[in-house]
Amino acid sequence: MSMFRLRGIAPAYLPRTLRILLENALRHGTQYEVLSNWKPGATGEIEVFASRVFLHDTNGVPVLADLAAMRDAVAAAGGNVSTVDPLVPAELVIDHSVIADVFGRPDALQLNVELEYHRNAERYRFLHWGQQAFEQLKVVPPGAGIMHQVNLEYLARVVEERDGVVFPDLCLGTDSHTTMVNGLGVLGWGIGGIEAEAAMLGQSVSMVLPPVVGVRLSGSLPAGATATDLVLTITERLRAHGVVGKLVEFHGPGLADLPVADRATIANMSPEFGSTAAWFPIDEQTLTYLKFTGRPAAQLTLVEDYAKEQGLWHDPAVELVFDEEVHFDLAEVAPSIAGPSRPDQRIALGDVKKAVSPEGASNTDGLSDGAVVVAAITSCTNTSNPAVMVAAGLVAKAAVERGLSSKPWVKTTLSPGSRVVMDYLGEAGLTPYLEKLGFHLAGFGCMTCIGASGALIDEVGQQVREQGLSVAAVLSGNRNFEGRIQPDVRSNYLASPPLVIAYALTGRMDVDLVTEPLGLDHDGRPVYLHDLWPKPSEIDAVVHATLRPQMFADAYADIFAGDERWQRLADPASGDTFAWAEESTYLRRPPYFELPAEPGDLHGARALVRLGDSVTTDHLSPAGAIPPDSVAGRYLQEQGVSRTELNTYASRRGNHLVMMRGAFANLRLRNALAEGVEGGVTRKDGVQLSIFEAAMSYRQDDVPVVVVAGKNYGTGSSRDWAAKGPALLGVRAVLAQSFERIHRSNLVGMGILPLEFRPGEGDDLTGEEPIDITLGADGFATVASAGRTYRLRIRLDTPREHDYYRHGGVLPYVLSRLTASEALPDLESN
């Protein structure tokens, strides 16, 4: 086979993730010496070319909208619009739009899908247009599953041959959990939508060479511990170690018995511990999974032969060297949950009651503070893992047989990431027991995990709001940030699917599931969690008896065709350019190609918001339901949209007029400029008003605005609207103590300058006074406010990022290349 061989170029000790990046550099003819001469601590710039780009619908719609607008701009300049077309395969899975409106009844799936098509028909027709307009774009219609599980089970190549050359599958996606496919030996990570557009158009992703953290696994999971417990423990450990912007590479003897399903569960949570990727090497477990999920024999042979030839195969005899090393013993994992607002807030199961009710309050059999009002088996993270899903079914079976039931105030939903889940649960006879507890199939999509959880039970939601109750959600997801899961729910806990069942049975968080009963059985005897919990041998027996390769073959036999609803959708326009409708509330031509603000120094800037630590992209651009009384909700109602049709922010990402009103609109946002008030409000000239109104007022006064924040600014989703929204509000710079990787890149991509305080500085910059920013040629900016002066690092980390900033962002930069426009002057000359 023809390949770019690494023998004689890559040192034997080179981490395998860097071997993939080295091959990428060799194949694309970019500078590779920093990789071929790598030693721990090496630094430098690298360019990475995606072999394919992966999208979901709520990020995919604005990506296609931007590309459509770019075609309009090329046409206006007299160019050839066909130059705006993906140069690498792009796959889009529609999985983020279905909402858990209907639950706990046999027809929940059907009714939720009908509502999904009713709400999103305009967006879906646009995706139809995109599929026919762009040659290398494939769309997986609604109802097929969650993108990362579809990727793992079907789309991932691991190794592929194209134009006679064999190379590794390097997948960049518009969702931070693209890393899930790292569990299969595919190197991939999340990028913002604007960066994805550039990658689709043949641009490289320019980045500083990331350090590689080797995580040596040893031991094996003890009985009673699940893959969810494992990933929550790893998340806590690696977040504390510090892996932001680094590649995590797993190795060691603990890999031998760790199946791909468990590896993928860990890799999926890479953004929760902050790493760029969390990669597992190719080995026999990889081949077993590929064979079991229906990949052809020739593909398995190609993967094995290539991996062994290129040093990507897990060979314990090869001593690799890493920048940093972490040792992790699987035997130390114990049952856990994480919360109430971050995935790394792990709590041992026996400590939960004390953690949620430190005063020792006793639990009550009713709706009060501490009640669980949402229990959701959801997300790609855990529903991809047959062991934990079967465990949930077995716990449900044992609970029903003992006479237990879910509490009436708990909204219970089941939303798997793959259709195969329902096949093996059905084959095992476990579905009726799940349904008896209210866990009817509500849809195949992200749903509760991304905040598409729907309303609470009517009377429950009303009581929570009227009494100001602090209630909780328990979900088998990957994120539990403030304001993300459900607007009325303040505390959110991540847990394994069987523990989700347990909390639905208790209906409360202030219960010690280790020592206290879940309820009473038919005879009035207490039933404990350990009474219901299946042995590992029981779980394995069910998995091996029910899960078959044919299930995957059947599920993916015609994956791109869709059901009759999808096939009935009519394209809104044919041809190479899109026919925008000015009256649309879902799709508007993006404004990003208008003349961007001149980059450079800022004088008399004002802080639009002053934020604290660990501000998430959910704070910056929420994805959940649009509240009727929000700025965006009122705007839509003024456009004739009824309160019941507002849909979610995620579904409106093709309309910048909605999304700019949704910037900083999280109900739990805490802005120090509006102290004592939560939500999207600030103060301007002593008057409290919405952040949107303040931004428009500053724009009218021709006053530049900035954001001031603390540590870990922009954690969470890769959502580009967390940068697009602020950019449309006029934000010119973000001054933070540290940034998460993807969001910093997105800021640059939108022409917003990221400035980073030196360690220990920045807490005293209140944002209440005018701010002057002077950019220096030495990579630092001088910031002056209220008589104090600071030196902040200009976080334009590569020459390419300087180019993006000079042009006002990625899109104007790419457009200038397509139309051969003259480059803008250097930053130093501004």
Per-residue confidence (pLDDT) for residue 192, from 0 to 100: 85
**Domains, in order of start, for the chain:** 211-309+317-334 (3.40.1060.10), 336-555 (3.30.499.10), 602-622+662-829 (3.20.19.10)
Q: In what order do the strands lie in the sheet with 137-140?
A: 137-140, 90-93, 52-56, 170-173, 187-190
Locate 155 and state its tokens.
Answer: 């789309």
Per-residue confidence (pLDDT) for residue 827, from 0 to 100: 36
- Closest CA relative to residue 93, chosen from 67, 61, 65: 61
In 390-459, where do the E strands start and end? 411-415
- Whether 558 and 567 have beta carbons less than 8 Å apart is answered as no
Per-residue confidence (pLDDT) for residue 542, from 0 to 100: 98
User: Which H/E stretch holds residue 529?
Assistant: helix 529-532
Locate 540 and state its tokens.
Answer: 């394995």
User: Which H/E stretch holds residue 656?
Assistant: helix 656-659
The reported pTM is: 0.88
For 319, how many CA atoms within 13 A lie in the half-sphere containing its CB? 0
Rg, the chain, Cα only: 26
- d(CA 75, CA 399) in angstroms, rounded, equals 64
- Whether 771 and 732 have beta carbons less than 8 Å apart is answered as no
Distance of CA 653 to the CA centre of its chain: 16
Could you say which DSSP state residue 535 is in? Answer: P
In 648-807, where do the E strands start and end? 681-684, 687-690, 705-708, 731-736, 753-756, 771-775, 780-785, 788-794
Per-residue confidence (pLDDT) for residue 588, from 0 to 100: 94
Give 10-residue mean pLDDT values along the chain (830 residues).
93 97 97 96 95 94 92 89 92 95 97 94 92 93 95 97 96 96 97 88 91 97 96 98 96 96 97 96 98 96 98 95 98 97 97 86 78 97 96 98 98 97 98 98 95 95 96 96 91 98 97 97 96 97 96 94 86 77 92 78 97 94 92 97 92 95 95 94 95 98 97 89 96 97 92 96 95 97 97 95 92 82 35
Amino acid occupying residue 592: Y
